[in-house]
Structure 1
Amino acid sequence: MYLDIEKHADSRLVKPVARECCVYCGACVCVNPSPGVGFENGELVFDEESIVFDKDLQVCPVINPVHSTTYPKPPVMEGQTIDELLGPYLEICSTRSTNEAVLRKAQIGGTVTSLLLQGMKDEVIDSALLVDKEKGWIGKPRLATTPEEIIELAGTKLSEASVLTCWRDAIKAGYKKLAIVGMPCVTIAEHLIDSSPDFKEFSDIHKLKIGIFCMEAFNYRGLFTEFLKDNQKIKPSNIVKVDVKGRMIIHEVTIEDKIAVHTYGLKELHKYSLLGCLPCHDYTAEYADISIGSVGSEDGWNTTIVRTELGKKLLDSAVASGLLMKKELEDREHLRNVAALKKKLKIGEKTREPASKVTRDWIVPERVMNEYNYGILKPIIRETAREKGSQVLW
């Protein structure tokens, strides 16, 4: 079921939608630390009575999809190219770290870690919001304040981690130049916080935003417990590395102390993705200063989209210092095609609604519909069905 967010933003559906479709960015906890809302052992703790609508939900990237007309898009800057699939950018290239310690820890290429190291060296940043992992690959937010911690936290963690919950910790600790690293939902939530006059304590901090390409994130219990542990007999504690590039590649330590490699198609894993990821159309983290992925680059290299002058200055500095290698992107059309898949709009075709229209809708889970099926849902469902006809959005 899909609901138009601008017509039904005040309905009592908002809180259960936020609960069931949470993408674990941590924005609500960041702006309103409450004992009723939080994250424990990779799971959401959500007491609807603890939610303050005007404070918590205005920063939720699920309740406020990026292409909604309710808040501004990323500012267009001089010299940017505006691409309907990739967002605004100054430059697109392939990059790779030259630091062996970084490459040993990184998923692919090591560009994110190298940019953070260069940022610390240049005093562009003094801290970074990153993700650590506990035993069993449970994601855990962490504030890194030294180059050693940045290298330690390199590499993909895969499960949700509520990274923005550490933003308030950075403020309390007195850090003034913060780097935020996260998937598109994190950069969107950061933009929502930054754009609101209610959260000036956060927006006053200088921020470098590094976005990570993302088709979808996965529910910890579904992917690691139900699929890998119960179905594939792979203990999460034995996983040493995960690569995602068109497929998921799991590196597991066996009882013989050898590395076994398991490969899974992303379609096979789609049912374990977070429900809140389904209406998202931002593949390349369009709200970041610089966005990093791998699609379009050769193996071992990162695809790097420079969006702002801050991102360009940092990348140029890392290349000049020898910390990063840079070359022309190998396959830009492949990158654009993958981005088009997430926007539900094939290049050159006009058979589907544009992303700016589709992303104004919420997905309302069936269990929420069942829970709230008295009174309020029936007229909304009838109205929405009448407006949209029988068309399937995706």
Structure 2
Amino acid sequence: MRTRIEVPAESRFGPDNLPYGVFAPAGKDFRVGVRYGDQVIDLAATLDAPVFAAPELNAFLAKGPDRWREVRERVRELVDGEIDADAVYPLADVALRLPVRIGDYVDFYASIEHATNLGRMFRPDGDPLLPNWRYLPVGYHGRAGTVVVSGTDVVRPRGQRRTDSGTPDFGPALRLDIEAELGYVIGRGSELGVPVDIDEFADRVFGVALINDWSARDIQAWEYQPLGPFLGKSFATSMSPWITPLAALEAARIPLPDQSPAPLPYLRGAQHWGLDIDLTVVWNGQSVAYPPYARMYWSPAQMLAHLTANGASTRTGDLYASGTISGPASYERGSFIELSWGGSQPVRVNDQERTFLEDGDEVTITATAPGPRSARIGLGEVTGRIRPAR
């Protein structure tokens, strides 16, 4: 039997989007699919391509940009017509998993508003930005093994915390936080010893996914000097199950905000890779923040060029993320440490005054971007619920 998938014109997941994920219908193995409206299309069945019968996207992503374009065009043709009904599944009836096997994970610190806010909190008598911040995309290597798919519960971490006496104690994090971020998935890897040119970005990166990089601020504050984030970040990073191809974001591309001083030559590109993406942070069912990605100081192309500038290689499936996305207005801050200004200005969440996350809290991050026509496209949401420390 053949079927035509009817998708409302206002759907965020229409023919201009077509994000990729890995799904399993009841009683069947995981395989690659494309989301169209509230349905998932089995690509192995519709395209008769064994590469999509795998439980991850890596083999397909390694094929490179020519193959990415070819498959996207074919899927566009499919959704414009009739599809084998046995290859279409309701989204509500399938299980989802991490769409890629992640070998390495890097987190950046690319929002000038976020960096300035934290600098003002932590160094009130000094310059909020450290001397290197405007010269390079600051980042650190995260823990790929604790990147989890959206919907996975997050166990409150335990660690050392500074006390009023100046010596630490050990226990559950008391200042548990979120970081609303955008992640970039490497498609075609790069060779060890060979930096990636800034204008190779779209030939190397397949697409984007929403990220929540959970943060234990009290653990982080005690441990981060002199080598940076460690246990306060590595316990969990949530990732959307849907990767939106860069090709779906052409209408969202914009110039970066002014960069002063001018970046060094290896960070100057001929292409615009600012992105006009609007995020929403929902805390226990209430929207509390609206971070604007258009305000990001460093572009993902600059991040990739800097990540590989020393000759570090990348591999298919590697993930790097933007760092917290924040804007100049108080309601545009993408972390709760900023929203509550270090816990001094509680946030109204439903009928409670809140600062940091409590056990049982659930946070969902969504985002939309301009599409090529009047309708906006949506990025797959990322959500997680806090469970008590073990």
| Bigger share in strand | 2
| Bigger share in helix | 1
**Shorter-chain TM-score tier:** under 0.3
TM-score normalized with structure 1 length: 0.25
TM-score normalized with structure 2 length: 0.25
